[in-house]
Amino acid sequence: MVMPALPKDSLVLVTGANSFQGMHIVDQLLAHGYRVRGTVRDAEKAIWTSKYFGNKYGPGRYVTAVIPDMVPRDVFDIAARGCSGLIHVASVMTFSSDPNEVITPSIAGALNALEAAAKEPNIKRFVYCSATSAAVAHGIGARIDVTNESWNMAAFKTAWEQPPPYEEGRAWAVFASSKMQTEQAVWRWCRARRPQFVLNTGTFGVP
């Protein structure tokens, strides 16, 4: 019998809990017997997500923490207290063509989540939700072998090569580069800090 990484009924923090990906992750955690604290950006999202998961799984299994901005330092610290795991889903999804508006805050949010997890001694697992576009550019009819050294440098070049003002039409490249650069920053942080928790990244059905 394979034992779970975290005991059932453990509290797991999920950032960006109201997002498409976040909702599925929260739902699966609750279905497998975990408790979830989800971060959302405003009170309206806190109300409807709490109502949805409360109706489905009962009171007290899902609670929210309202965090309007993930960029300020220490912003996830209080939300991470008492948690055994942290799944970082939150990302800038405006699909702006300006890399400064998407990539920079996405990296800051991930690093803040890592720092919060490092300060909470109970956290044993950390998952960063990346995307396949962080590793490879999408193409039709091409077979690509993906390894842990695969990065979508084509998206990076497209996202940053043009100086401001940024023209429209590069939103997908900026998004893909944000996922790539954030994942790289996450691994650099882990190698430098050697935290007490196990770090993993995954794509979870995101293109």
Of the chain, the percentage scoring pLDDT greater than 90 comes to 83
- Choose the weakest-confidence range: 3-7, 87-91, 134-138: 134-138
pLDDT at residue 142, rounded to an integer: 60
How many whole angstroms separate alpha carbon 199 and alpha carbon 110? 12
Query: Is the predicted pLDDT of residue 137 greater than 90, yes or no?
Result: no
Partners of 40 in the beta sheet? 66
Pairing between β-strand 35-40 and β-strand 62-66 as defined by DSSP bridges = parallel
- What is the C-alpha to C-alpha distance for residues 158 and 57, in angstroms, rounded to an integer? 44
Task: Please give the pLDDT value at position 187.
Answer: 97
Residue type for 194, please?
R
Predicted TM-score (pTM) of this structure: 0.94
Report whether pLDDT(207) > 70: no
Query: What is the model's pLDDT at position 143?
Result: 65
Distance from first CA to last CA of the chain, Å, rounded?
A: 33
Per the model's pLDDT, the better-predicted residue between 88 and 169 turns out to be 88
Candidates 44, 38, 50; CA nearest to 14 is 38
